[in-house]
Chain A
Amino acid sequence: MSPLAKLLEAALFSSARPVPVEELAALDPEASPAAVRAALDELREAYDVNGHGIELTELGEGFQILTRPEYTEAIERAQLAVRPHRLSAASLETLAIIAYRQPIGRAEIEEIRGVNVGGVLKSLHERGLIDVVGRAEGLGRPLLYGTTPLFLEQFALRHLEELPRADELAVALRAEPRAV
């Protein structure tokens, strides 16, 4: 492996979160972003070709070293690491709406889901998956919510555009919020 690839490997190993390319490039002032990209490819290939228990993944606007799925059960049985809890259906529905419609206010989410979402919003916010991104203009200037980088990370997404586009879904999304 090239010295740069080894440096990146060490840096990614030491980080608990996905590291963006720009941050990786800062490790070596001589290295261009293109060189960092090439070194990342080299590292990924080293893991894939030589048969490693870990792999290099691009998610959450950065790169992260993750264990391979086939070892998850054994690791969890040995209690070395624990999978996070699954989100409830109510949380997932609310997240789905926010992911597609952000920035979006609570009333609009409730209109789509047909239920009160106060509690769900609070727990999603506590888990760091959503955040307040602004306030709407209308009456009472309601808070507007959006998804966070942690959302991308926990759903193994590189960016929001990776979610299926509206026209790829079986039913077409309403183009724009209904005029009241």
Chain B
Amino acid sequence: MTLLGSEPETPFVVELGQFSGPLDLLLSLIRDERVDIYDIPIARIADQFLARIRTMGLDQAADYLEMAARLLRIKAQMLLPRHDTDDAWEDPRAELVRRLLEYQQMREVVDVLERYAEDRRSRFARQYFPPSNVETPPAPLALSLAELLSAVDRVLRVVRDPAMHDVIPRALDVDGAIATIRGVLELRERARWRDVVRQGAERWEILSSLLALLELARRGELKLAQPSPFANVWIRRESPGQAA
């Protein structure tokens, strides 16, 4: 609750969805104010536009800002004195009106398209998926140990100086680790990783303890928690069955 919604002045994304752009907002203002699109009271509409984008937090959106600047420029041009005899005077609003009309017409097409799409959406076609050309995974290998060894032999003979490693299996002592962990948890309800693995433990000891912890957690004897990556692991005693 403290993380989200503490900033009341950021309804930006939500409100933006209402309008699909500055022209949409402008048209809605013109409709709300019931003014003639061919004779827009530019000062009033420009002020309203600015007020709206401010209250809606839209002043962060470049598209809206650009329109705001355009409106202010037209407003300024309208204020310039002109003579009645000046035939060459061109209404500074003309370009905006043209764009608004064009946009409005496009919105009409959108209504039509929406109707068509809805008509098609309400009917299902056959759903046929052509066999994909994704390769199916190969079948499991069917070969005997002798075949495998002879294959290894062939490969090794090709490689001139194969680097050979001796792999010595090292036994893990999971049962021993389980006993240790149980012993620790008998004394205390909560323990840390450090309590069940001694300082400077061998790799096999660490692995044994880890497997033991996971095994005990699976059996429900304890719960593991790590509040964040690389943080200390907490171990908590859980005694199912006996406790209940």
Which residues of chain B from 104 to 137 have a CB within 8 Å of any chain A CB? 104-110, 112-114, 116-117, 119-130
Known: A155-B120, A170-B105. A89 touches B99 (CB 8 A): no
Q: Select which of A13, A81, A87, A97 is within 8 A of B124 by beta carbon.
A: A81
| Residues of A close to B99: CB separation below 8 A | 111-112, 114
Separation of A95 and B107 alpha carbons in the complex (Å): 11
Separation of A169 and B102 alpha carbons in the complex (Å): 11
| Residues of A close to B128: CB separation below 8 A | 14-16
Does A157 sit within 8 A of B, measured CB to CB? yes
Q: Among the interface residues B99, B103, B109, which one has the most CB atoms of the partner chain A within 10 A?
A: B109
Main secondary structure of the interface of B (DSSP, over half): helix
| Residues of B close to A86: CB separation below 8 A | 117, 121
| Residues of B close to A59: CB separation below 8 A | 120
Q: How far is the CB of B64 from chain A (nearest CB, A)?
A: 9
Separation of A170 and B101 alpha carbons in the complex (Å): 10
| Residues of B close to A115: CB separation below 8 A | 20-22, 63
Q: How far is the CB of A158 from chain B (nearest CB, A)?
A: 11
Does A34 sit within 8 A of B, measured CB to CB? no
Separation of A174 and B100 alpha carbons in the complex (Å): 11
Separation of A87 and B20 alpha carbons in the complex (Å): 13
Contact A157 B116 (CB under 8 A): yes
Contact B127 A16 (CB under 8 A): yes
> Which of A24-32, A35-43, A68-76, A134-142 is the interface stretch?
A68-76
A-B contact count (CB 8 A): 123
Which residues of chain A from 2 to 17 have a CB within 8 Å of any chain B CB? 13-17
Does A52 sit within 8 A of B, measured CB to CB? no
Contact B106 A154 (CB under 8 A): no
Contact A155 B113 (CB under 8 A): yes
Does A57 sit within 8 A of B, measured CB to CB? yes
| Residues of A close to B98: CB separation below 8 A | 174
Q: How far is the CB of B47 from chain A (nearest CB, A)?
A: 19
| Residues of A close to B113: CB separation below 8 A | 92, 95-96, 99, 155, 163
| Residues of B close to A112: CB separation below 8 A | 99, 102-103, 106
Q: Chain A interface (Cβ within 8 Å of chain B)? A: 13-17, 55, 57, 59, 64-69, 72, 75, 81, 83-84, 86-87, 89-90, 92-93, 95-97, 99-100, 111-116, 153-157, 163-164, 166, 169-174
Q: Chain B interface (Cβ within 8 Å of chain A)? A: 20-24, 62-63, 67, 98-99, 101-110, 112-114, 116-117, 119-130
Given contacts A66-B123, A113-B23, A114-B22, 5 further A-B contacts (CB under 8 A): A69-B119, A89-B20, A100-B109, A114-B23, A115-B63
Show 16 residue pairs from A and B whose CB-CB distance is below 8 angstroms, ordered by the A residue: A15-B126, A64-B125, A66-B125, A67-B125, A72-B124, A81-B124, A90-B20, A114-B63, A114-B67, A115-B20, A116-B62, A155-B116, A166-B105, A169-B108, A169-B109, A171-B102
